[in-house]
């Protein structure tokens, strides 16, 4: 009888297998895909590797994700949806408040540690996700462009609008570059590759977030200097502060425009 049950279980179709604990199996597949893609890159990963890592039949992986491309995109969709929802809610609350909002407030939300969003998640898993994001951030291929535009540009627009609101002197083009420079620094803060220690910095615990306050101060000072330099260039007849984009008087997408502190504050 036991042998018959074993044989029946082995003969189960991907659909039947999916019906039994679908959520946990999907999580196992996505977790495995994140590890394999993170360690080997898109080109070096295979559906077979991912199935083996997840401990499921390869047919089940193909049942849920028709191609490696679809599975790769699903890895980004899962993480980015949670991250964007978390940061978006914090932005909504900030802009709906009566407080005087500063660039530091906006950056603090933009730099929310992933360990705060994915409570209890292994730091090593989050580090692999950061590696994947860095790859698509710099990639010029169609796949990377599609992932950026779908999962990361919408929240980027929100933060760019927020910077444009709290720094009245910033031009749209400056706000775009301020955001891109800042998230580049954020990727270094997220990284757990040991490079900072090798270059002479003190080692930090994998779940430490103390350095994020330094990151906020660093980015805020740089953004204010960017605005100040742009204003000085315009005063002397230059063009670096001019842009064909939105003017500083434009309304941001936030639910309520906060009382913004001047860029020189």
Domains and CATH numbers, the chain: 1-66 (1.10.10.60), 75-260 (1.10.357.10)
Is this prediction's pTM over 0.95? no
3-state secondary structure of 259: strand
* Gap between the Cα atoms of 182 and 184, Å rounded: 5
Instruction: Give the model's pLDDT for residue 255.
Output: 38
Residue 240 has pLDDT above 50, yes or no: no
Least confident of 10-14, 100-104, 215-219: 10-14
* Gap between the Cα atoms of 134 and 154, Å rounded: 17
115 neighbors 123 (Cβ within 8 angstroms): yes
Least confident of 15-19, 94-98, 101-105: 15-19
Residue 100 backbone dihedrals phi, psi, to 5 degrees: -80, 115
Our separate counts of H helices and E strands in the chain read 14, 2
CA 105 to each of CA 85, 88, 111, 163, 237: distance values in angstroms, whole numbers, following the listed order: 17, 13, 10, 10, 32
Percentage of residues of the chain with pLDDT beyond 70: 75
- 29-47 mean pLDDT: 97
Residue at token pair 């990727």: 187
Mean pLDDT of the chain: 82
Query: Among 36-50, 107-121, 192-206, 237-251, which range has the highest average pLDDT?
Result: 36-50
- 235-244 mean pLDDT: 47
Specify which residues 144 forms β-bridges with. Answer: none
CA dihedral sign of residues 44, 46, 48, 51: positive
3-state secondary structure of 210: coil
CA 20 to each of CA 27, 57, 61: distance values in angstroms, whole numbers, following the listed order: 13, 14, 14
Least confident of 48-62, 63-77, 156-170, 178-192: 178-192
Instruction: Give the model's pLDDT for residue 179.
Output: 97
227 neighbors 167 (Cβ within 8 angstroms): yes
| Residues 131-182 pLDDT 10s | 999 999 999 999 999 999 999 999 999 999 999 999 988 999 999 999 999 9
């Amino acid at each position: 009888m036991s042998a018959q049950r074993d044989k029946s279980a082995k003969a189960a179709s991907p659909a039947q297998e999916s019906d039994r604990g679908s959520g946990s199996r999907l999580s196992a597949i996505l977790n495995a895909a994140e590890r394999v893609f993170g360690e080997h890159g898109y080109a070096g990963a295979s559906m077979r590797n991912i199935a083996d890592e997840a401990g499921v039949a390869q047919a089940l992986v193909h049942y849920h994700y028709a191609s490696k491309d679809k599975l790769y995109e699903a890895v980004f969709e899962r993480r980015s949806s949670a991250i964007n929802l978390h940061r978006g809610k914090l932005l909504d609350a900030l802009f709906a408040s009566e407080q005087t909002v500063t660039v530091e407030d906006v950056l603090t939300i933009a730099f929310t540690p992933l360990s705060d969003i994915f409570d209890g998640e292994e730091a090593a898993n989050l580090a692999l996700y950061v590696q994947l994001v860095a790859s698509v951030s710099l990639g010029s291929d169609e796949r990377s462009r599609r992932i950026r535009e779908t999962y990361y540009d919408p929240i980027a627009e929100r933060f760019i609008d927020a910077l444009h609101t709290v720094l009245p002197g910033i031009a749209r083009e400056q706000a775009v570059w301020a955001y891109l420079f800042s998230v580049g620094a954020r990727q270094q803060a997220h990284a757990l590759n040991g490079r900072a220690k090798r270059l002479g910095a003190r080692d930090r615990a994998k779940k430490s977030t103390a350095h994020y306050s330094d990151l906020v101060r660093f980015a805020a000072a740089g953004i204010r200097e960017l605005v100040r330099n742009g204003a000085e260039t315009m005063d002397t007849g230059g063009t670096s502060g001019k842009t064909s984009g939105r003017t500083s008087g434009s309304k941001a997408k936030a639910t309520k425009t906060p009382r913004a502190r001047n860029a020189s504050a």
